[in-house]
Each structure stands twice: as structure tokens, then as C-alpha cells.
Structure 1
Amino acid sequence: MDCSYFDAGVCRSCTLMGVPYAEQLEGKDRLARELLSPFGDAVWLPPVASAEAGYRNKAKMVVGGTADAPTIGILGEAGRGVDLRECGICAPGIRAALPVLAGFITRQRLEPYSVPDRRGELKFVLVTESPDGELMVRFVARSEHTVARVKAGLDGLLAELPRARVVTVNLQPEHKAVVEGDTDVVLTRESALPMRMGPISLRLRPQSFFQTNTAVATELYAQVSSWVDEIAPASVWDLYCGVGGFALHVAAPGRRVVGVETSREAVRSARASASAAGLPQVAFRAGDATAFALGAVTAPELVIVNPPRRGIGAELSAWLEGSDVRSVVYSSCNPKSLAHDLARMSSYSIRTGRVLDMFPQTGHMEVAVLLERR
């Protein structure tokens, strides 16, 4: 993949840009195997490749410049906006939407927030595209002043961007390195974006985590479902479940599945998806995954964990080590933190594993491993 922004030195976020993709994938696979080799004589499946470009289903774009000439992209070294609206890793539908949103910013006089000057209103535009080409558009702003301006121009925006199913304004008034605040004002009739993933359609609400690469995420869910069905546990926990992707995909007749997630919005999404899919045996709880495990009276036969980059940590690792859980599926976006966690779980070994390339052109990857008691 070629990128004019990278070649010009404007954006260097994609640190592997210019490296042949086969070399990128082989390097990630090799690194994961090396880092995890102390934890069992694993059978490693072939890595799952991604499209090199246009794979990213979500764009988190900083809004800079002025209302008359907005930039949509990142902040440069001086804290000023750098326009990246033609970013090649973004899905084509997102790239097509960004110029429309730039025009909307100008038309509605949404003044971009200046980080150096600490003034202005509009901080970010967040755009997510579903597998069916529908969009969720979220404007992150400092105050409800922006809500009124976006609402006033909403009909025109929807006419120009008919694929926009969900439009919100997120309120983030503070001057700090946080993308979004706690409150989303939903301006459309629909408040969730359907994300069709194989046999399951997930309902993505604002502020709910979702994998950024839809095609590879579909492969990840299928792989984990295959492992779980092979083991055929009667009970499963999906910890850090997000919008319920793993929990809903591993549901089966007679199998009790519980998903746990701190985000209440994500739990609302997961419950709605379970109801729509006719899966009453899948339950979701809003709360901390570690606290849930430590407070449980009994443990399930299998646990799925999909934590943030820091991993599951010492406390949950110790609980798993001391539990009678037979099998663990660990999906990690950071093989180094995965290795740290496995070092605390000496009773488990990796039976099989797989690298799934969620993030081409970068050094990041997803690694899924099936752990079993030694």
C-alpha cells in the first residue's frame, strides 16, 4: 500500500507503511510465536490476513482549522490540525463521508476546538461503517451549543449522507487527552448501528467498543466459536465482553453463557442483540470482570477473556490459576501483556493459537490462544 501522507511525512501513524504486506504478516506471526513459546508446545494455525487498505471500520478524526476551512485528521506537532480525509486505511464509505462532514461543519458554523488556544467547540468526528454500508456519525464537542447547531442542520446532513443511520453529539467539555465524554445526545430515530458478523448481528451503540476490522473480527469470532464448540462446555463466561461478540457467537442449546462488561451502553447493545437473535440463555452483566469472577459462587467450565492492551492483570490471572476452570480462550491485542498474564497462570498451557491481523500497516495484531489445564 502507498500513502502520500506517509511519504510526505505528514502522518507516521502507520509505522509499517511501505513494508510488503506478506513481510508484515510473517513478522507478526513470528513475534507472537516467540513471545508465547514458553507457555506450551502450541499448534499455531496460519495467520489470518487482512485487506491491506480500506479495512478500518472506524475513524477517530481530530477536527482542526476553522469553520470555513476545517481539517479532519490528526494534530500536528504544534497542536494544529492536519487533514487526512483521504486516509487509505479507512473504509471507502468513511472516506466518502468525511468531505460531506467537512462541508457540514462549515455550513453549521461548528467552530473547531483549538488545543493551543483552548477555545472553540468541535473536537472530533467519529465515524463507524457497518458491513452493510450504514454509518454512525458522532460529533464530540464541548457543550450543548453544538447540539443545537447539529440538530438544526440534521435534515440536510441526512439528505446528503443518506447512509447515516445514527447521528449523535458527545459532550466532552474538559481540556484533556480524552476522546469522548460520558454523555451522547442521540439526534436520530435509531440509536444503534447493526453490525452483521456471520450468523449474528451485533447492535453497536455510541461508546461501545467494537473491533476496528470487520472482516478479521468475523474470522476471530468464527475461530473462537470453533474452539468452544470442540470443547462443548455447559457454561461459559465472556469477560470484557464489549457488545457481546464472543458470548453471542458461542451460544448453543443447553449452554449457559454470561458476558461481563464495564460499559453499560455496551451491555445494553449486547442484551438487544441477544433478544433479536432469540438467545435467552445468554445473559449480560454490567460490572468489573475481575470483581465478577472473585465474587462468583461457582466457576464456569470455560472462560473467554478479551481485555484491553494492559491484559487481565495479576488478580484475575491468580483467580483463574486457583479456579477449577478447565479451558480459557484469551484474545489479546498485545502479545506482551498476554505473555505477562500467562506467566502467572502456570497450570495452563497453550494448546493452539492464531494471529489475526486486525491492523495492517502497523505493528499491532490480535492473538487468540486456547489454554487448557496441564
Structure 2
Amino acid sequence: MVKKGETIDITIDDIKFPNKGIAHIEGDKKITIKNAIPGQKLTVKVKKKRRDKMDAIVIEKLQSAPNEVNAPCPVFEECGGCTYQNLTYEDQLLLKKKFILDILKGFNIEEIYEGVEGSKNSYEYRNKMEFSFGDEYKDGPLTLGLHKRGSMYDIVNTDVCILVDEDFRDILKAVLSYAKKNNYSYYHKRTHLGLLRHLVLRKGIMTGEILVNFVTSSQGAIDEESLVDTILNLPLKGQIKGIIHTVNDSLADVVQEDSGKILYGQGFITDKLYDLSFKITPYSFFQTNTIGAMQLYSVVKDFVGTGKNKVLYDLYCGTGTIAQVLSPCADKVVGIELVEEAVIAARENAKLNGIENCEFLAGDVLEQVDTLTEKPDVIILDPPRDGIHPKAIWKILDFEPKSFIYVSCKPTSLARDLPFFLEKGYEIKRVKSVDMFPQTPHVETVVLLSR
């Protein structure tokens, strides 16, 4: 009998969302290993043991999976930014299809599932990246990049990251060099002492406009003039539109603003979806894969149909991208978004695009739906990863539109929410996934529910 702490050899025979390789030992007892893929033979160490399952970590890979490939990124094994670079993109799409069908197997969608539409770009597709300052090991040299796989504290230098384009990599290298030259300390998450916290980069994929947000604590000062010169002197393909210095003293490891200062240019960039322009501020939500967003919204538009609707609700609307894309499909579109800055941007974007039939409300969907009086024909739901608030979902269902279109970025949350719609008398008519996040387990799934 295998015990906790024991080292054993196993073969991965299944995989579960998002990255849990499964092996079976001692009959049908399951052992779970993160970041493993079917077919791999591994030496693992048991870390947790329960009655019918165990968790383990990889000690050594004995044999690759038959379909495994060499990851093009040199830090793939250490970095937590990617999960499946060791699979071809075609195999990644098959894996995501398996995830969706496994998670939604209780809803009998096999006959109507329209598969996973792949991203036009499987690399260099991200228009935003949050890099963290830190060290790769305790008391190591300053680095800037993404969290090490499985670690809350260690940071891997990702100046070779291929999820972002060359401009991002060049800015990262230059900023890290600037920080080392000035001998700045980084903010320690345990002690809450130190200066440098994050470098957040945004780029308009269609416009080439770049916004740099340099985030520090208030525990010291930076040479702002030198920072600006360092960035502006880079030979970039895109154009720097703004450089911001944000001060954040939150104890949480999140990017937020206690105070901010524009060091150069302006505090926003613009990007385009189809023929529409969108102003993107440092904290407003905009899909991280611009080309993929147009693929996703085309699916949503297809599910809405060609008939003219009187009223359409776009709940969890962000900066109003879906609402404005769908504005030709309705006499009126009403969007609700919790982040007030995003609502302000949505209103400005609608004005910028000459769209007059979109109205945007700031507030929690749970509360704001009580202010809506018009009966919608279609309700678009694009909630955060955790899905729709259980109390909000009943209020939303009470509008009884002819159709709901649920845009889900986490299939397990979708599986939790779907029974509420079925109980109310709606049926799943169409399901299609769009891969917005190549090299990762994440995938968007669009569901059409009609009476």
C-alpha cells in the first residue's frame, strides 16, 4: 500500500480541467499530478493521501507522452504562465474540447456542440501582461517576469515570453536593467517591505499604441525622468502613448491604484474591434486577445440572430465591447458593469463610435437589475470566472427573455449555473467554444438558451 511521502513510478492515463493529470494505482485508486499529460511516465512523490485518491508532485519524467513536443519557450518548465506548450496547437484544441464535453456531460450537448474555434494566433496574441518584480530564489538577484509554476513568491525572468510580442519583451528588459542600475528593492509579499511591485503593459494590437504602467509602493522614490528616457529610447515597432507611475500600498498581490501620475503622454490607449474604436485605460477590462475577441463576438452575434430585437441587455459588460458590437441588432442595448471606470470608458467609446442606442449603468448586477424596467428580448451574460452570483441569477431569470446567451470563461462555473436556466424552462440550443488563450487550459464557451 502506497503511503504519504513515498516515491513511485506511474503512467498518466487521463486529464481533468484545468491541468490535472490522472493515474490509477492499486486497482482504481486515483493519483493526481498537476501539469502532467496522458501518456507520460513519471516518478512522483505522494504529498497528500485520502481514502480513494492521492496528490503527488513530479520528481522525474521517465518517458514523454507519444504526442508530446518540445516547448519553444526556454523557461516553460519553470514559468506558470503557460501549461500546454508541450502539445501541438491542434492537440491543445482537442484537449479543450475534451474538457468542455467532460464538464458539461450531464447536459447532453454532444449532438449540438460545435467544437472549439482556434485562435488565429497561437503565440504573441496577448495585448496585456502584468509582470511582477521579485527574485527567482530567496535572496537572489532582482528579476521581473511571471510567477514560478506552483509558487506565490518566486518570479521567473520572462524576457523571452512568446505569449506577448517583441515590444513587451524589449520594454521588460529595459525596465529591469533600469531597476538594477538604480539598485531598487522589490516589494516582499511576506514582509510588505520594498519598492518595486509590477510592470503592466498594454498594447493596441490593431493600432500599435502602447501604455506602460510602472507600479511601486510608497516606500521610496524612483527616478521618473530616467524611467521615461529608458522607455522612449527603445526602438519599438509600436508607439508609446503613455507612461504612468502608480503607487499601490495594498497588502494583496494585485495591481490597483492608491495614487497615479502620468509621466509621459496620456493615461490610455485605443484599439479597434471590427470598425469600432475603444479607449482602454489602465484598469478597464478589455479581452486580452484582440483578434480572438472578434472571433468570440462573431459567435455571440451569430447566436443573437439576424432578426431585429427591441431591447438587449448586456450584463457584466466591461467597457461595452459586446454591447456596441451588437448595437445594430437592437433598438436599445443596456449594459451593466461593476467597475465605474469601465462604464465611463464604455460611454466614451459609444460616443466615439457614434452609437446612440447603448446605455451603460455602473454597479453590481445583483443590485442594478432592480432598476431595469423594460423587458428584454435577449440577455447577454459574460460574468467573471466565478460565474453569476446565486442571488442575481434568479432576478435575471425573472425577466424571461426569449433567449439568453451565456459567455463563459470557466466551464466549471458554467456547469454550476446552467441548471438554473433549465429549471426555468429554457433549453440549450447551441454551444460553441472559442480559444482565446492558447498554451493555457482556459477557453471561452458560448451557450444559446431559448424557451
Query: Structure 2 length as normaliser, TM-score?
Result: 0.75
Inter-partner Cα distance in structure 2 for 1:96 and 1:153: 14
Alpha-carbon spacing, 1:259–1:187, altered in 2? closer, same or farther (3 Å): farther
Write the mapping of 1:256-271 to structure 2, written as runs, cut at 5 A. Answer: 256-271=332-347
Give the unaligned 5+ runs of structure 2. 1-70
Q: CA 1:350/1:150 → structure 2, altered by over 3 Å: closer, same or farther? A: farther
Within the candidate set 21, 25, 37, 2:89 is matched to 21
User: Paired residue for 1:72?
Assistant: 144
Larger radius of gyration: 2
* Paired residue type of 1:372: S
Alpha-carbon distance in 1 for matches of 2:81, 2:230: 34
Aligned-residue CA RMSD (Å):
2.5
**Cα offset, 1:353, TM superposition:** 1.8
| Alignment-derived partner of residue 5 in structure 2 | none
Which residue does 1:95 correspond to in 2? 169
Higher strand share: 2
Corresponding position of 1:122: 196
CA–CA distance in 2 between the matches of 1:302 and 1:360? Answer: 30
Residue pair 2:171, 2:231 contacting (<8 A) in 1 also: no
1:45 is the counterpart of 2:123: no
Does structure 1 conserve the Cα–Cα contact (< 8 Å) formed by 2:311 and 2:333?
yes
**Greater relative CO, 1 or 2 (CA 8 Å, sep 6+):** 1
Deviations 1:247-303 (A, max 9, x none): 110012761011111111111211111111000211111111121113322331111
Distance in 2, Cα, partners of 1:40 & 1:18: 31
The residue type equivalent to 2:87 in the other structure is V
Task: Determine helix, strand or coil for the equivalent of 2:309.
Answer: coil
The answer to whether the Cα contact below 8 Å between 1:100 and 1:161 also exists between their aligned partners in 2 is: no
Residue pair 1:239, 1:261 contacting (<8 A) in 2 also: yes
Mean CA deviation greater in 178-187 or 20-29: 178-187
3-state SS in 2 of match to 1:258: strand
Render the CA deviation track for 1:295-318: whole Å, top value 9, x for unaligned.
Answer: 322331111111111101322221
Change over 3 Å in CA distance of 1:159–1:144 after alignment to 2 = farther
Q: C-alpha displacement at 1:78, in angstroms?
A: 8.4
Can you list the C-alpha shifts for 1:216-251, whole angstroms capped at 9, x where unaligned?
111111221232242431111111111111011001
CA shift in 2, pair 1:73/1:156, >3 Å: closer
User: Is the counterpart of residue 141 in structure 1 residue 216 in structure 2?
Assistant: yes
Shift of 1:109: 5.4
Pairs aligned (count): 369
The share of aligned pairs that are identical, in percent, is 29
Cα shift at 1:196: 1.0
* Contact in 2 for aligned 1:328/1:371 (Cα 8 Å): yes
The CA deviation at 1:160 is 2.9
- Flag the structure with higher helix content: 1
Matches of 1:357 and 1:34, distance apart in 2 = 17
SS at match of 1:257: strand
CA contact 1:85–1:98 (8 Å) conserved in 2: yes
Does structure 2 conserve the Cα–Cα contact (< 8 Å) formed by 1:80 and 1:115?
A: no
Shift of 1:12: 4.0
SS state at 1:341 partner = helix
Letter of the aligned partner of 1:104 in structure 2? Y
